[in-house]
Structure formats: structure tokens, C-alpha cells
Amino acid sequence: MTLIGTILPMTSSLTGRCMCGGVGFTVYPPLRPVFNCHCDRCRRFSGHHVAATAVAPNGLVFATDETLGWYQPAVGVFYGFCRRCGSSLFFRTDRTPERISVMAGALDQPTGLATTEAWWVDEAADYHTRPAGLIEHGGDG
């Protein structure tokens, strides 16, 4: 199973949850570094840009998912969120079934993760200045 990007040499799991606790989960290594996505959909889903790591589907285990909902804005594209508190939590596509993106802000701190890339920068909001040093992609690569 391949996760696009450099795999972090993590040996322990990370936990995360939504704001209200209706969705709680553990992610198991390997994890991809954090990528920022500036596409219009991700910007509207998150209210800014999505900052997410990624994990193999079997590396995401739910402690509770009673309020987990999935929004499908296009065929084969899914955004996971808490139906009670509205927290943005996950992203997945049928095009890349080998990974589920996990919103970095939903993970309990410290994570040990680092942001390395920015995607869809051609659609980035005009109010946001991206940090120097990131690998940038105009679209989805």
C-alpha cells in the first residue's frame, strides 16, 4: 500500500476526535506528512484550507463514530464531518482508495507531523499567504 509523499518514521499511534467527542479515532503508522489543499471544495469544507495527513484505511480505527457523516459533493468524493458539532475530519476519494486523509487539526497534540506540500495553489484564497519552502502544485499534481 502506497501513501503519496514521504512516509514519517512513526512508531506509535495518534488519537483524534471532533470537538464534541461524537467521533473519536486512532490512526496507526505509517502517516504521510501534512499537505495543505487550497481547492475550492476543501476551502469551503474547512473555512480556510485543508491541512491533512493520510493513512491507509486499515490504519484508521474508530473508538466512536455515532455522529460521523459523509458529504459527497461529486461522484466518488467524500468529506467526513461530525453531524453534531460540524468538525471537519476526513477526506477520501474512490480514485485513491489506498488512503484516507485525516485533518491534522483533529489530532490530539503533539503529533510530530510537519507540513511539506501545498496543493491546488491556483485556487488559493487571496487573503492567505502560503509559507515559503513548501512544495507547491497548481492542481492535483
Burial (CB count within 10 angstroms: exposed 0-12, middle 13-18, buried 19+), residue 85: middle
Give CA–CA dist 51/93, Å, rounded: 16
45-65 confidence digits (pLDDT tens): 999 999 999 999 999 999 999
Domain count, the chain: 1
Q: What is the 3-state secondary structure (H, E, C) of 17-29?
A: ECCCCCEEEEECC
CATH number, position 111 = 2.170.150.70
pLDDT at 93: 96
14-29 confidence digits (pLDDT tens): 999 999 999 999 999 9
Give CA–CA dist 4/99, Å, rounded: 9
Could you tell me if residue 6 is inside a domain?
no
Could you tell me if residue 1 is inside a domain?
no
Could you tell me if residue 4 is inside a domain?
no
pTM of the model: 0.88
Could you tell me if residue 2 is inside a domain?
no
Percentage of the chain modeled with pLDDT above 70: 91
Give CA–CA dist 119/105, Å, rounded: 18
pLDDT (average), residues 92-114: 96
Could you tell me if residue 7 is inside a domain?
no
pLDDT (average), residues 105-125: 95
pLDDT band, residue 11 (cuts 50/70/90): low
Burial (CB count within 10 angstroms: exposed 0-12, middle 13-18, buried 19+), residue 75: exposed
Give CA–CA dist 30/12, Å, rounded: 9
Could you tell me if residue 8 is inside a domain?
no
Q: In which residue are the cell numbers 477520501 written?
A: 92
Could you tell me if residue 5 is inside a domain?
no
Could you tell me if residue 106 is inside a domain?
yes
Q: Which domain holds residue 22?
A: 14-136
